Structure 1
Amino acid sequence: MALEIDSRHKNNLLWSSFFGGGAAGLFVDVVLFPLDTLKTRLQAEQGFKNAGGFKGIYKGLGVQVIGSAPQAALFFITYESIKYYSEQLVPKGSMPFVYMFGASVAEVMACLVRVPMEVIKQRKQTSIGDKSSIKILLAAYKYEGFFKGVYRGFGSTIMREVPFSIIQFPILEYCKSTYQNKFKNNIPLESFEVAVCGSIAGGISAAITTPLDVVKTRIMLADRKSLKSESLTFMRTFKRILKKEGIKGLFAGILPRTLWIFLGGYIFFGSYDFAKNNIYDILEEKRPNR
């Protein structure tokens, strides 16, 4: 009976992480979408004004709404699963490596959903016309193929997301555990306290990894002529930006990106913790033999 109860507890924990992550991802992406648009346009090769400036800052919101919940849910059920099983097997001092590994695997899983959505969203954000998301997707597939079009920039997205998560999640877990030990007498944190830890971790990670984000954006937005004339690998794109635009080019959009993820970290991790805990409580109440 104890094993059955423990199994139900584990399942409830993972399902609450899944639905909590989905709710948090959807909420933060909708609220902070204009900052994401401005960041993308600042990073676009044609320049901020030619990419749309301050006009139509909600272009691409529809596809973001569709993709944000599934990718966030997929991320957190992967991350929390790895964390849950590892805590029982790995020494406490080695847990930061578990957080890094778990976040890296979770990012790869989330990118299976994120990349096609990101390709469509960023092309809408920087396009002058009013092409629908479906037309952009079909054009990418027709003229560029499945992997080079629909999944354009998958490798560069992984190159951005994995270092970001390797920095973010150990900082997040460190902030949470340190605050809990020193100021809460090991009492579980409130959702707003988790939110503060999330904003700190997100802001630091966003600023450090901005060059990786710029490279990813340029690869996703490159036109078909560029694809035919040169191979858009991560390192070639990085070197080309550095040569043409210098350090300033590599850190284009750092302020809106850092602000977006700083605020997003607060909203995301706060709402994730709140949603996860409430969903978990609901599931636990339905559990027999409690």
Structure 2
Amino acid sequence: MSLAPQQPAEIKKKPVSFSNILLGSALNMCEVTTLGQPLEVTKTTMAANRNLNFLQSVKHIWARGGVFGFYQGLIPWAWIEASTKGAALLFVAAEAEYQFKRLGLGNFGAGIMGGVSGGVAQAYLTMGFCTCMKTVEITKAKSAVAGAIPQSSWSAFKDIYKREGIRGINKGVNAVAIRQMTNWGSRFGFSRLVEEGIRKMTGKTNPEDKLTAVEKICASAIGGGLSAWNQPIEVIRVEMQSKKDDPNRPKKLGVVSAFKYIYQSSGLKGLYRGVSPRIGLGVWQTVFMVGFGDMAREFVGKLTGETPAAKH
């Protein structure tokens, strides 16, 4: 009895809908406007001023503008970034994951490579100039002249563009790309490992058994927190984009030269400055996007008849 050869399962590309993009943008906007930007400002301040600890950084930010000091760079740069980076991630990650599956990778490997590709696309398409301008806002010196009007965000943007062109407003974009690439790869990997551990502990051995909302949030929050292992890349990125007055800093910094300068001036600890608020930011993003995201997906699903998957 001869058996007909089995046809390989057809590989289908995950669809990307407009409700995905709109929901992801809305969730990102809410996340950054609540606790996201204060943690971002604290993290960046510590990375740029490596002699300050967490409490000293909080006092420094408060002295610069009170409550509003914690929202420096929110409008327009953090809002532009939040409303666009999700679209770049969704489109590129879906296409990349599909192509890697066609090359023979399994779901896990293709998923990681899709996330890595999406993270790199985020950096070069939307996040490069946004993170640069946010860092400029957070680290630039306030005017010491009484009665002087501080330079606005757009004025700073125009000034940098006039002097340095596209490269100036995208300074540190290579470090951003490395950060996003390692962020998405490690977040995906760590979250899946924690999920497997939760499944073993709760007896959910069947892949069809769904995790509860609390279990998903815990797994993703731990994954998001553990992804802060690449904090040296974040400190390098901040140093490359910083407007802090530092006569000892080399004029033209690349990723390697910035690493050498930080290590020589601040040692190994300097490369991990700001890791605490970075972990807090990763956990907050995850809890917000997974927790509130599930509720938002159910609501949008009732309105549109489809269930969008929000990513950040």
Query: TM-score normalised to the size of structure 2?
Result: 0.75
Q: Secondary structure at the match of 2:209?
A: coil
Q: Which residue of 1 aligns with 2:120?
A: 108
**Between structures 1 and 2, the one with greater helix share:** 1
Could you tell me how far apart the structure 2 residues matched to 1:170 and 1:97 are? 9
Could you tell me how far apart the structure 2 residues matched to 1:54 and 1:88 are? 47
Q: Which residue of 1 aligns with 2:138?
A: 125
Count, aligned residues: 273
Kindly state the Cα deviation for residue 153 of structure 1 after the two structures are TM-superposed. Answer: 0.8
Provide structure 1 residue ranges, at least 5 long, that are not aligned to the other structure.
Answer: 1-8
Cα distance per residue 1:25-47 (max 9 Å; x no partner): 21221122111111111111485
Q: 2:172 aligns with which of 153, 160, 170?
A: 153
Q: 1:42 aligns with which of 37, 43, 46?
A: 46
Structure-2 change in CA distance of 1:82 and 1:143 (3 Å): same
CA RMSD of aligned residues (A): 3.2
Kindly state the Cα deviation for residue 266 of structure 1 after the two structures are TM-superposed. Answer: 1.5
Could you tell me how far apart the structure 1 residues matched to 2:137 and 2:151 are? 7
Cα distance per residue 1:111-169 (max 9 Å; x no partner): 2111111111111122324322211111110111112x111111111122111222111
Cα distance per residue 1:3-61 (max 9 Å; x no partner): xxxxxx964x5434323322222122112211111111111148546998132111111
Kindly state the Cα deviation for residue 201 of structure 1 after the two structures are TM-superposed. Answer: 0.6
Kindly state the Cα deviation for residue 199 of structure 1 after the two structures are TM-superposed. Answer: 0.8
Q: Which residue of 2 aligns with 1:6?
A: none
Structure-2 change in CA distance of 1:69 and 1:179 (3 Å): farther
- Tell me the amino acid that sits aligned with residue 36 of structure 1: E
Query: TM-score normalised to the size of structure 1?
Result: 0.80
In the alignment, does 2:43 pair up with 1:24? no
Contact 1:103 1:165 in 2 (8 A): yes
Q: Which residue of 2 aligns with 1:97?
A: 109
After TM superposition, list the pairs within 5 Å mapping 1:137-216 onto structure 2. Answer: 137-147=157-167, 149-176=168-195, 179=198, 182-184=202-204, 186-206=208-228, 208-216=229-237
Could you tell me how far apart the structure 1 residues matched to 2:114 and 2:121 are? 11
The structure having more radius of gyration, on CA atoms, is: 2
Structure-2 change in CA distance of 1:65 and 1:191 (3 Å): farther
Could you tell me how far apart the structure 2 residues matched to 1:87 and 1:232 are? 34
Q: Secondary structure at the match of 1:251?
A: coil
